[in-house]
Amino acid sequence: MSDVVGLPVRVRVVGRPGCGRRTVTRVLRGAGVAVVTSTAAADLDVHVFAETVKPEDRHALTTSPRPVVAVLNKADLTGFGGSGPVAAAAERCRLLSERVGVPVYPLAGLAAAAAVDDRILDDEMLGALRRLTVDPADLGSTDRFATGRHALPDAVRRRLLVDLDLFGIAHAVLALRNGADRTAVISALRQASALDGLLAGLEAAAAPVRYRRLTEEFGDSAAEEAVAARMAAAIDVVQAAGMTVDADVSAQAHLRRAVVWQRYSGGPVSRLHSRCGADIARGSLRLWERAGGIPEALP
């Protein structure tokens, strides 16, 4: 197998100035995503916007030559009420996805950065947050937190705002009040930031890229390794699209899966999904043969 097939899927972070491209880049790199700056080297675009999709965002999302995942950064500023700002942002992202035709995910960028960068939540920050659990400060606005009377030095409060903002401060303080240690605070920030939802979205968008690499590598080879690899990559693609693939390993299940996906491949689906269906069917038939399957009447 070539080195190209084994390369991680590379993303390029784009978007309008002021929407948090640097923060999102830092978050993705901290989470282990391969972020590149070269257009030629990128497999996916991550388009960052804030508040709403503007005409220039819509143009970029619909004209990119690569698959695109959009990120509503600063999701913690969406508005309060209900289940909180990030939940409200997630619903907005769902509606925007339907409108622009690409997946859109919310992200509270600063909280996510603190969750993936061990240098942010150091002893000074953690000590300041613990102080806030017993000596609350006014978190009603940035100005009130920064300038209100409190025992925390102004410089420490400014650092808390720069690194966590009010949203991250509030979630970290809540976690500490509930008995969290440093690791648990980081986990709480990660969950609150919606980072894992974005990473899952990137993984789903990467599935077709990996599949195309494999098909270019193996072509129509009937070798055992090629058939198994193409089937596995094809399953990732259709599952990323929300479909379920029967994972039963009995001979009957392999045959049934082959029939289902062969029919699917001939249906009104995209060329990519037609090829994936055919690869799942071929791989399933190979597994059926290896399991000692014998011809039988189909239901």
Question: By residue range, what is the domain housing residue 151?
Answer: 118-192
Question: DSSP labels for 125-186?
Answer: HHHHHHHHHHS----S-HHHHHHS--SS-HHHHHHHHHHTHHHHHHHHHHHHHTT--HHHHH
Q: Residue 39: in which H helix or E strand, if any?
A: none
Task: Please check whether residue 42 is in contact with residue 11, taking contact to mean a CB–CB distance below 8 angstroms.
Answer: yes
| pLDDT tens readout for residues 33-60 | 999 999 989 999 999 999 889 999 999 9
Asked which of 80, 108, 136 is the last residue of a domain, the reply is: 108
87 and 11 in a common domain:
yes
Q: Which CATH number characterizes residue 100's domain?
A: 3.40.50.300
- Does residue 91 fall inside a structural domain? yes
Asked which of 192, 208, 232 is the last residue of a domain, the reply is: 192
Q: Residue 292: in which H helix or E strand, if any?
A: none
101 and 24 in a common domain:
yes
133 and 103 in a common domain:
no
137 and 163 in a common domain:
yes
155 and 91 in a common domain:
no
97 and 155 in a common domain:
no
**pTM higher than 0.85, yes or no?**
yes
- The 3-state DSSP class for residue 30 equals helix
- Does residue 204 fall inside a structural domain? no
134 and 62 in a common domain:
no
125 and 103 in a common domain:
no
126 and 82 in a common domain:
no
277 and 187 in a common domain:
no
Task: Please check whether residue 245 is in contact with residue 286, taking contact to mean a CB–CB distance below 8 angstroms.
Answer: no
- Angle at the Cα of 84 from the Cα atoms of 179 and 98, rounded to 5 degrees: 135
130 and 186 in a common domain:
yes
Rounded to whole angstroms, the Cα distance separating 292 from 85 reads: 55
- Does residue 274 fall inside a structural domain? yes
Asked which of 108, 127, 159 is the last residue of a domain, the reply is: 108
- Does residue 169 fall inside a structural domain? yes
| pLDDT tens readout for residues 152-182 | 999 999 999 999 999 999 999 999 999 999 9
- Does residue 200 fall inside a structural domain? no
Task: Please check whether residue 94 is in contact with residue 72, taking contact to mean a CB–CB distance below 8 angstroms.
Answer: no
Task: Please check whether residue 256 is in contact with residue 264, taking contact to mean a CB–CB distance below 8 angstroms.
Answer: no
| Integer Rg of the chain from CA | 24
User: Could you list the pLDDT tens digit for every one of the 299 residues in the chain?
Assistant: 555 566 899 999 999 999 999 999 999 999 999 999 999 899 999 999 998 899 999 999 999 889 999 999 999 987 655 678 999 999 999 999 999 999 999 999 999 999 999 899 999 999 999 999 999 999 999 999 999 999 999 999 999 999 999 999 999 999 999 999 999 999 999 999 999 999 999 999 999 999 999 999 888 888 999 999 999 999 999 999 999 999 999 999 999 999 999 999 999 999 999 999 999 999 999 999 998 877 665 55
What total number of domains does the chain contain? 3
157 and 93 in a common domain:
no
